[in-house]
Structure 1
Amino acid sequence: MPNKKTPKSSGPKKEFAKFSRWLHIYLSMVSFAVVLFFSVTGLTLNHPSWLGGEEQINTKDTGNLNVAWVNNPDTNKIAKLEVVEFLRKKHQLKGAVSEFRIDETEITVTLKGPAYAADAFIDRESGKYELSEIKMGVVALMNDLHKGRDSGKGWSWIIDISAVFLIIVSLSGLILLLFIKKKRIAGLIT
């Protein structure tokens, strides 16, 4: 009776290679979108004028707020939340509060977000304020997201998860390379 080789049953090594291939393929699909975003925004960071990245709209406004919120000699009793929420509601301000500075005669409130900044200068004695708001375009928004500047914890998590995806894609690709005997050494050297 002739000696026929029977196909190997799927052992742990073969299953690991199969899982690595599956992981590499599907994470690569997600990671290519990440790489595309960061490569495009890398170009716009170096050349913002190519796509109108230097455009911005400056708005100035003035107003009055409740003087009782800001005219307290005890600076710990300044109504910070009321001041910020009043400005947000009245002027449709966006972004997170990055600074709330209290001086003897003035309060400065700064809100920042990707491609956005607003500064309010409030007179503590009268409650009068001057507001300056800067809105930048889509390219500036993408550039700020690329850098993670003023984009919050949620976007920071997205950047971290993207980095982990790219690490896993790289490692799974390296593992796949190690399973190909003919290409293993050449692939590791080059």
Structure 2
Amino acid sequence: MTETDDIFETSVSTGARPARRARNSRAQANVTLRWLHTYTSMISLLVVLFFALTGITLNHPDWVFGTSDVKSTLTGSMPSGWIQNGAVNWLTVAETLRADQNLKGRAGETRFDGNEADIAFVGPGYSADTVIDASTGKYTVNVLQQGGVAVMNDLHRGRDTGGAWKWVIDLSGGILAVVAFTGIGILLYLKKTRNQALTVMGIATVIVIGLAWHAIA
């Protein structure tokens, strides 16, 4: 082999290495995308199902199955000391109501005007509005408990759910975004169906944007 042949072989080998590295890099990226897509899809499976079904029920508030309301009125009296120096001890009030009337949910808005004190307990599909007579300490609680569909709808909206469930909603949104982006990334490696799939995605995007524009116009 001549010196010229050695130089030619070396140049070919040197040029092949970057191409091989590029192929290996693309293959590794494809594997990573598939791994992320598979496992985030498994994690979000029930989340997608829940938000899909409750999205339908939210869009049809006239559907009444599982939405029957149960209303009740409770009465009682506050212990002494629930008002001190003209100010309501709301912690005592809340604990008394929970213990005596088995109220649930989070203690929400409070109001005191000198004659009456109001406190509300709220949760998904649940509310308990309490009015207390400042002079006698007697109270009335109007409780509304809604059906299972209403509870799920409130969970979908994050209404009266507290901070923990709001984190669930945020995390679910992030996972679904990863599923979507990794799905698109995998699609880019499928040479046979890539163009057709991207065309369909583009058409669907235009249709959705058009419908959204029509809805708000």
1:59 has 2:72 as partner? yes
How high is the TM-score relative to the length of structure 2? Answer: 0.76
> For each residue in 1:155-185, what CA deviation from the matched residue of structure 2 results, as whole angstroms up to 9, or x when unmatched?
1111111111110011101111111223333
C-alpha distance in 1 between matches for 2:59 and 2:197: 33
How high is the TM-score relative to the length of structure 1? Answer: 0.86
> For each residue in 1:131-157, what CA deviation from the matched residue of structure 2 results, as whole angstroms up to 9, or x when unmatched?
111111111111110111111111111
Match 1:128 to one of 113, 118, 138 = 138
The SS at the match of 2:91 is helix
C-alpha distance in 1 between matches for 2:126 and 2:132: 20
Match 1:38 to one of 44, 48, 51 = 51
Name the count of aligned residue pairs: 181
- Alignment match, 2:128: 118
Q: CA deviation at 1:49?
A: 5.5
1:188 has 2:191 as partner? no
C-alpha distance in 1 between matches for 2:134 and 2:89: 12
Q: What is the correspondence of 1:136-151 to structure 2 with a 5 Å cutoff?
A: 136-151=146-161
The SS at the match of 2:135 is coil
Contact 1:44 1:53 in 2 (8 A): no
Match 1:25 to one of 38, 45, 54 = 38
Where in structure 1 are there 5+ consecutive unaligned residues? 1-6
Higher RCO (Cα < 8 Å, 6 or more apart):
1
Greater helix share, 1 or 2? 2
Q: What is the correspondence of 1:54-133 to structure 2 with a 5 Å cutoff?
A: 54-70=67-83, 72-75=84-87, 78-133=88-143
- Alignment match, 2:211: none
Contact 1:67 1:125 in 2 (8 A): no
> For each residue in 1:118-142, what CA deviation from the matched residue of structure 2 results, as whole angstroms up to 9, or x when unmatched?
0110111111111111111111111
Where in structure 2 are there 5+ consecutive unaligned residues? 1-19, 201-217
> For each residue in 1:59-112, what CA deviation from the matched residue of structure 2 results, as whole angstroms up to 9, or x when unmatched?
101111124212x4432xx21101100100111110111111111201001010
Moved over 6 A (4+): none
